Amino acid sequence: MLTQLGYQFIVEPSSFEERERGLSAHDTALFFARGKAEEVFSRFPLSAVLGADTVVTLGGEIFGKPKDQEDAKRMLRLLSGKEHAVLTGVCLIAPNYREEAIVATHVVFHELSEEVIAAYVASGLPLDKAGAYGIQDGRPLVKEIYGSYTNVVGLPTEKVGTMLATALRGTR
């Protein structure tokens, strides 16, 4: 997604521990994005570092990545036929620059049969995704979306593009 924005980059995994801390979904996404960015920036202080984290929330419950197949099925059953929010926290840190933001998108699921849920979970695709689904997976899960599609994929490119352009003005 960053390549499509015209940026060259390297992926540097963060050792920041994503551990439940009892925060709201909004604060969790931002806290994790900030933690990832700060940890990597501490090792590369002359670079621009982008950290991001996406959570799905419904009725006050935060849906991170499922623990296993049963947890993925549980999440998909709860999301079935309902509208939920996808929140992505982004934190961009560069020398003499820091910006943080949350982007929210609302997603409505179709009613999902047990067969659809079981087949999707058996594919393995939902096991590494917040809310146990990927809108980009080509499955018949999503009925409607209100907001940024790329946010639901995991990186709100509209917002990130603006942040990067501001941070890197004159250095690209």
The CATH architecture of the domain made up of 25-167 is: Alpha-Beta Complex (3.90)
Q: What percent of the chain has pLDDT over 70?
A: 97
Which parts of 95-172 are beta strand (E)?
A: 97-109, 142-146
Residues labelled catalytic: 53
> Do 51 and 121 form a contact (C-beta atoms < 8 A)?
no
Examine the pLDDT at 171 and tell me if it is beyond 70. no
Question: Any idea where the domains of the chain sit in the sequence?
Answer: 25-167
Rounded Cα–Cα distance for residues 60 and 24 (Å) = 8
3-state secondary structure 44-96: CCCCCEEEEEEEEEECCEEECCCCCHHHHHHHHHHHCCCEEEEEEEEEEEECC
The pLDDT tens digits of the residues spanning 55-101 come to: 999 999 999 899 999 999 999 999 999 999 999 999 999 998 999 99
The pLDDT tens digits of the residues spanning 38-51 come to: 999 999 999 999 99
pTM: 0.89
Mean pLDDT of 128-153: 92
Mean pLDDT of 145-167: 92
**How much is the pLDDT for 172?**
39
**How much is the pLDDT for 1?**
67
